[in-house]
Chains A and B, each alone.
Chain A
Amino acid sequence: MNLLLKHITLPLANFTLEVDAGIRSRVTAIFGPSGAGKTSLLDLIAGLRCAQSAFIQLDDRVLTDTAKGFFVPTHQRGIGYVPQDLALFPHLSVRQNLLYGCKSGGAADPLFSFDHVIEVLEIRSLIVRGVTELSGGEKQRVALARALLASPRLLLLDEPLASLDAPLKAKIIPYLTRIRDEFRIPMLCVTHDRFEALALADEIIVLVNGQVLQTGPVLDVFNRPANSDVAKIVSVETLQAGSIAGLNEGLATVKIRDVTLTALAPTTGAREVFVCIRGEDVILQRDAAVASSVRNRLSARIVALRTEGALVRVELDAGFPLFALITRPACIELALREGEPITALIKTPAIHLVPR
C-alpha cells in the first residue's frame, strides 16, 4: 500500500489541519488527543469532505488533486470506513446492512465473499436480527464486516475500540488483527489510546492540533519522542518487547531480555507482549534490604540524570533501559549520581502488558 497525503490544508474551528505524509505500512495509527483533526483527516481520505488544498493518491490512483480540480466521488473510491458511531442503518436488518456494499454478482475476490467474511468475524448467528438488537461488540463486528464486504482497497477505522469497555476491547482486538492478517487489507486507524496503537499498528502518525508532530514505527516513536509535546502525549517512559514465561493465579511472569518481572496477566492469551512502565511508577531506593510489598525489585545502575522542570528523569540500566521520574528534592536527598548502583521498585499493577 502506498497512500500519499500531500499539501493537505483544511481550516477547522480552532486550528488548521496540515498534513504532508506518505503511508506505506500495513496498519498505521493516527494518534493524538481528541479534537486533533484525526476524524477530519479520515473524512478527507474517504472524500466526504473537501480540503482547501490536497493531493491524495492511493497506490497508482489519484483520488483528490485540488490544484487540478480533480476529485473522485466517495462511492467510486473503494475505501471502507467504519466511523466511531458505526453508522449501522437502523431501518435495515443485519443481513441487509452487510449486503449494502456488496458488488452485485458477489465479490471478485473469494477472500471477500459473504461466507468467508461472516465466518472470520463470527457473526453468522446475528444476520437474521435487527440492528437495534445487537450488543456493542456485535455492532462493531457487523460494521467491520459490512465495510469488508464492499472489498475495499483501504480500511479507515475511527476509534474502533473507544466506545467499548475494557473486557470488550480485549475481545475485539483479536478480530482487528485477524482482519489485518487474513484479508491483507491496509488499515488506517484513528486512536487516542496508546495501548490500542501498540496492539494494532506498525507505524504511527502523531497528530496534535492539526499538525503532524512525528511519524515512524510505533516503538521508535514511543521510545524516542521527537520533542516534549510528543512525549507528553505518548507518556510512556519505558517500552520494551517481552514475552510471558508463565501465568499463575492472575499474575504473569514476563521476561525482558534476562530480567524477570511480575505483572497482572493480560486478558488475551498473547505470549508476546510490549511491557509499558510509566516513569512516575518507578520508585528508587538506596537500601536493597528494606522489606516492602513491592514485587519487582531490580538492581540497576544510573546511566543519566536529566532535570525536567520540577522533576528529574533518571535513565537506568536494569538489564534493559528503564526510566524513572522523581522530584528534584528526592534526587538531592538520595544523592543520586551517574554510574552509581540503585534499586528500582515497580508495583505489579504499574506494569502494563500489551499484546504485540
Chain B
Amino acid sequence: MTSEEWQIVWFTAWVSALSTLVILPFGLALAWILARRDWLGKSIVETLVSLPLVMPPVATGLILLKLFGRRGAIGGFLHDQLNFDVIFTWRAVLLALSVMSLPLLIRSARVAFEEVNPRLEQIARTLGAGNWRVFFTITVPLAARGIVAGMILAFARALGEFGATIMVAGNIPGKTSTLSLTIFQDVQLGQDAHAFRLLGVSVVLAFAAVWFSEFLLRRRKK
C-alpha cells in the first residue's frame, strides 16, 4: 500500500465516521418523534426520510448538487452570505454520505424506540424525572443496541457510497477521492492491482462493521 492509498482509506473512514456522528442527534430526534408522536403529515415525512434508500443514488446526488451548487437555493446563500462552498470539497462528501446513510439510522433507531415500554418512561416521570432525563436515562439506554446497530449500518453505507458522492464531490485526488470512487477509476484506467488492494481493504472494513452489528443484535435478543 502506498501512502496515497493509505490517505484514501483514512479519508474514507473518517469522513464516514464523521457523517455518522453528524446525523446522530438529528436522526435520533426524528426517529423518536416518528416512534412516539402522531402528527399531521407524519406519513409524508416517513416517506421522505426513506427516499434516499430507494431512489437511485445518482438522482439523490443530482438533487443535492442543484440545492448546494453556487446557484442553488442553499448553496447560493452559503456562498453569497458566508463565502462558504460545499460542492467539490470534502464537505460535499460529508453531505452525500450523511443524506445517504440517514434512513438506515432512523429506521433502526425508530424500531428500537418503539420497543421501549412507554410505561417505564411514564413511571420515571412520576419519580420526578423531566423529559430530558427520561430520554437519556430510560429511553436511550433501553434502545441502545438498536441505536448502535443503526449507527454501524449507517457507517457501512457511508463507506461504500458512490453515486451521490461523485455527483456532488467529483473525484478529486487527495481532496474528495474515496475508496469506491478510486476503485472505479482504477478499473477504468486498467490499474487492476491497485484496485484489488483497495477492494481488499473495503472487504475488511465492511466485514468488521456488519459482524459487529450482528454481534450487538444477538446480544440484544438475549
Contacts and interface: CB of A to CB of B under 8 A. Distances in A.
Interface of A: 43, 46-48, 73-81, 83, 85, 87, 89-91, 100-101, 103, 146-147, 150
B122 A91 contact: no
Interface in B111-144: 117, 119-120, 122-130, 137-138, 141-142
Contacts of B138: 89
Contacts of A48: 122, 125-126
A83 B126 CA distance: 11
A229 to B, nearest CB: 31
Contacts of B137: 100
8 contacts: A48-B122, A73-B125, A73-B130, A79-B126, A85-B119, A90-B142, A101-B128, A147-B127
A81 B120 CA distance: 11
Nearest to A146: B127
Contact of B142 (A83, A85, A91): A91
**Interface secondary structure of B, over-half rule:** helix
A160 to B, nearest CB: 14
**Interface secondary structure of A, over-half rule:** loop
Given A89-B138, A90-B142, A91-B142, A74 B125 contact: yes
A212 to B, nearest CB: 24
Contacts of B124: 89, 100
Contacts of B129: 75, 100-101
A73 B125 CA distance: 9
A178 to B, nearest CB: 21
A235 B137 CA distance: 46
Contacts of B123: 81, 83, 87
Contacts of A103: 128
A38 to B, nearest CB: 16
Contacts of A43: 122
A48 to B, nearest CB: 5
A103 B126 CA distance: 13
Contacts of A73: 125, 130
Given A87-B120, A89-B120, A75 B142 contact: no
Which of A73, A89, A146 lies at the interface centre, i.e. has the most chain B CB atoms within 10 A of its CB?
Answer: A89
Contacts of A91: 141-142
Given A89-B138, A100-B124, A75 B130 contact: yes
A75 B123 CA distance: 9
A74 B126 contact: yes
A103 B129 CA distance: 10
Q: Which 6 A-B pairs have the closest CB atoms?
A: A101-B127, A74-B125, A87-B123, A81-B126, A75-B125, A48-B122
A89 B122 CA distance: 11
A75 B119 contact: no
Contacts of B125: 47-48, 73-75
Contact of B122 (A74, A77, A100, A146): A74
Contact of A150 (B120, B122, B128, B130): B128
Contacts of A75: 125-130
B119 A83 contact: yes
B71 to A, nearest CB: 48
Interface string B171-203: 000000000000000000000000000000000
A48 B124 CA distance: 11
A194 B123 CA distance: 27
Nearest to B117: A87
Interface in B66-121: 117, 119-120
Nearest to B138: A89
Which of B117, B126, B138 lies at the interface centre, i.e. has the most chain A CB atoms within 10 A of its CB?
Answer: B126
Nearest to A152: B126
Contacts of A100: 124, 127, 129, 137
A130 to B, nearest CB: 13
Contacts of B142: 90-91
A103 B138 CA distance: 18
Contacts of A89: 120, 124, 138
Nearest to A99: B127
B135 to A, nearest CB: 12
Contacts of A90: 142
A74 B122 CA distance: 8
Contacts of A101: 126-129
A80 B124 CA distance: 10
Contacts of B117: 87
Nearest to A91: B141
